Every structure is written in C-alpha cells, then in structure tokens.
Amino acid sequence: MEYRNLGHSDLKLPVITFGAWAAGGWMWGGTERTEAIKAIQASYEVGVTAIDTAPVYGQGESEEITGEAIKGLPRDKVQILTKFGLRWNLSKGEFYFKSKDNSGKDIDIYKYAAKESIIQECEDSLRRLGTDYIDLYQIHWPDSTTPIHETMGAVEQLIKAGKIRYAGVCNYNAAQLEEAEKSLKLVSNQVPYSMVKRDIETEVVPYCLKHNKGILAYSPLQRGLLTGKMKPGYTFNEGDHRSATYFFTDENIKRTNAFLDKIKPLADEKNATLGQLVLRWTIEQPGITIALAGARNAKQAVENAKAASIQLSKDEVELINAHLKSLELIKA
C-alpha cells in the first residue's frame, strides 16, 4: 500500500481509503452488517488503515460498524475519519432534504454546525466508534445558518481537549476554505471527484495546491458507474439514491461503457480491473491526495485496495485523458 501525508499534517493515509457510506446502508438500499465489518477488516489486512465514515450514514450505523470492525486493532495503527454537521434528529439549521432511514421511516436532514451541536456530535461519534479520539474531524456540508468562525472555534476547542487530532472540511469551495482558515488551520477538503465529475479542478484544486491542503476524493468510481459492471436497464434496490441521478440513465451508462471499452486494453495490460485503473488514475491527478472507495463485502474491499499497486506512466495517464475527452454525459 502507498501512503501520503494529508496536507501539512503528520497524518499518513493510504491512497485508497475505505469509504463507509455504503457500509451504513443509508441511501444504498440497506446493509448487511456482518459483511460490512468483514469488508473493513479485510481492507486493514491489505494496508487500508483508514476509514472515512459519518454519523448520518445509517443514522449512526456506519460509525457503529466501523467501531466494531476495528475493535481489538492497535488504535495508533488505524486512522478514523468522521464528520459532523448533518443532523437527522434535530430540526435546526439549514434544511437539506427529506429521506428515509434504514427502517423506511421518513426523516428530515438538516445542515447544522453550531458550537453546542458539534460538541454533542463529537461525543456521540466517540461513543459509537468506541474510541477516545478521532484522527480527522470534518464538517460534512457548509451550513449557511452558522458563521464559519463559530464552527471552526468549536472544532479548535475539541482539538485542545484531545478529542480530535486534525480538522478538515467537506464540500467547501475556495472562498469557504479561505474564510475557515482565518479561524483554524485545516489539513484537508473532501470533495466529489471522478473522471465524469471534475469541476473542482477550476478553483478548489489550485487553492489546495497553493495552500498545502490535502484533497480526499469521494465517489471516484462515480458510485459504480466507472466500474464497467453496469449495463443499460440496470435496476437499483429500493432506497438506492443512484436511481434518481442523471449519471445512471441508460444513455449515460452506454456512453460511459463505450469510453471504458477504449481503456480496457490498458487495464488488461496491467492485469487490473477497470475500477482499479480508474482509482489509480484518480490518485495520479494533480492535488488529489487519496481516493475514497466503498465496499459492501471483503472481496470488493480487497479489489479496491489493489489499485494502489498499479503503476501508470505519464504517457499512459495522457492516453486515458485523450480517450476521456470524447466522453460527454447528458445532464438533463
């Protein structure tokens, strides 16, 4: 496994980090707890020592699964990344969207990052994770109802108390990063990034490169689209959020697979799957520190981890980019 420091910190993370959103089941059509635990443990065995989770993933279930999976492992050999600021049990802040929990019950999700909420969320996360500190604590989404300096002040208080080691953000634009930096030194920004979603290259990547901030790329496989395993007519389980997004229309699946067919010879040459090749391409991009890859079982987890061992030359990256220029998805 290859490891990289996150920003200016001494927090060294595997380039393929386990993303535990799907493990919590929420918005992914449910979860099988035992398989999710095995997936995290299998990842650890092949060098994926970091897990990225969040309270809202399964309304606590993903964090509980993470805590159970790492129980008995040396704590200083595991990096726990979690988040705050999305509340499903508190009607405060900025309304985000309506959803259903894993039992099918209607819930409202709010963006809320006021001081007292953050302090409480941290305690709840520590309890669910079964640990006394969090390696990287990240605001999940910007909250327009709370001043950034109040949010960052609360995180700084948690750092001083030894509850968290480092602070990061998620889904922040360059201006928000700059504002947050006035109150607290950040190490990272977690943002969506894939071959078919590259808008962060305009402002966020240049800002992070200039100011030495790590970038954690989430959904690098575009939630399964870039694995080549999806075919037109694919049917999602009930409650799977992907069924409502434009990436997964039959036409876009068809266009994506046509692109993947062009780069498959390179994957074959590397004795790699398309998904592994796409993950390796992701972490070769300027400014991208690590890629988050989710898995529902141990086989998927180990397959994702193998992407770290693939070697791509500059010419091979440029070859992929040349084919990528012809891929255009329909957004409407």
Active-site annotation, residues: 57
The closest of 148, 147, 140 to 190, measured between CA atoms, is 140
How far apart are alpha carbons 277 and 260 in whole angstroms? 10
Confirm if 191 and 171 have CB atoms less than 8 A apart: yes
Residue type, 95: F
Comparing C-alpha atoms, which of 204, 155, 157 is closest to residue 176?
A: 204
Torsion angles phi and psi, residue 243, rounded to 5? -65, -20
Residues β-bridged to residue 35: none
